[in-house]
Amino acid sequence: MTSQHQILVLNGPNLQLLGTRKPDIYGCRSLADVEDRLRALASELGVAVDCRQSNHEGDLVDWIGSTQGRFSGIIINPGAYTHTSVAIRDAIEAVGLPAVEIHISNVHAREEFRHRSLIAPVCLGQISGMGTHGYELALRGVVAYLEQPAQA
């Protein structure tokens, strides 16, 4: 019997505010609602998600660093750390797990400083601009990646 994949879902700074303000940019759903939907989808897909949020870069780095042997993949919305954090990038690169970066808003249609991600180059891919639905797309993407037959 194969063991169930565990996926770590990380949200960075200020994402605890989801659903409380700026609905034009970030939508109406709370983070708890987004996480509940993700848990429901995970169960449909036969995987499990562990959802965490922190406003502190070091927490995110520590959580990524402790994934080995416990998680099969990472979904991360690094928030503003997307554009600044060498530490989060290095942590993802070091653990070598497939990671998907997700942004609720279309970062490429916003201010210039949001166009650059330090994290995306060490990820499988980036989802941006699909609203909070993007988390579900990221989960489907990482599960499809994990379940694909090994390439010859």
- Supply the residues annotated as catalytic: 26, 103
State how far the Cα of 96 lies from the Cα of 93, in Å rounded to an integer.
5
Closer residue to ligand CA2, CB minimum distance, 6 or 16: 16
For residue 80, give every residue at least 6 positions away whose Cβ sits within 8 Å of its Cβ, in sequence order, or none: 12, 13, 14
Q: What would the x/- binding string for ligand CA2 be over residues 11 to 50, using CB under 6 A?
A: ---xx-xx--xx---x------------------------
Is residue 42 packed enough to be buried (19+ CB in 10 Å), middle (13-18) or exposed (0-12)? buried
Find the shortest distance in angstroms from Cβ 97 to ligand CA2: 20
Q: Where are the alpha helices (DSSP H) in 2-149?
A: 23-26, 31-45, 57-65, 86-95, 133-147
Find the shortest distance in angstroms from Cβ 41 to ligand CA2: 18
Of 40-48, 88-96, 97-105, 142-150: span binding ligand CA2 (CB under 6 A): 97-105
Alpha carbon of 95 to those of 89, 101, 152: distances in Å?
10, 15, 23
70 binds ligand CA2 (CB under 6 A): no
CB distance 4 to 71 below 8 Å: no
Find the shortest distance in angstroms from Cβ 152 to ligand CA2: 37
**How many of the other CB atoms lie within 10 Å of CB of 121?**
11
- Give the residues lining the site for ligand CA2 (CB under 6 A): 14-15, 17-18, 21-22, 26, 77, 79-80, 82, 103-105, 107, 114
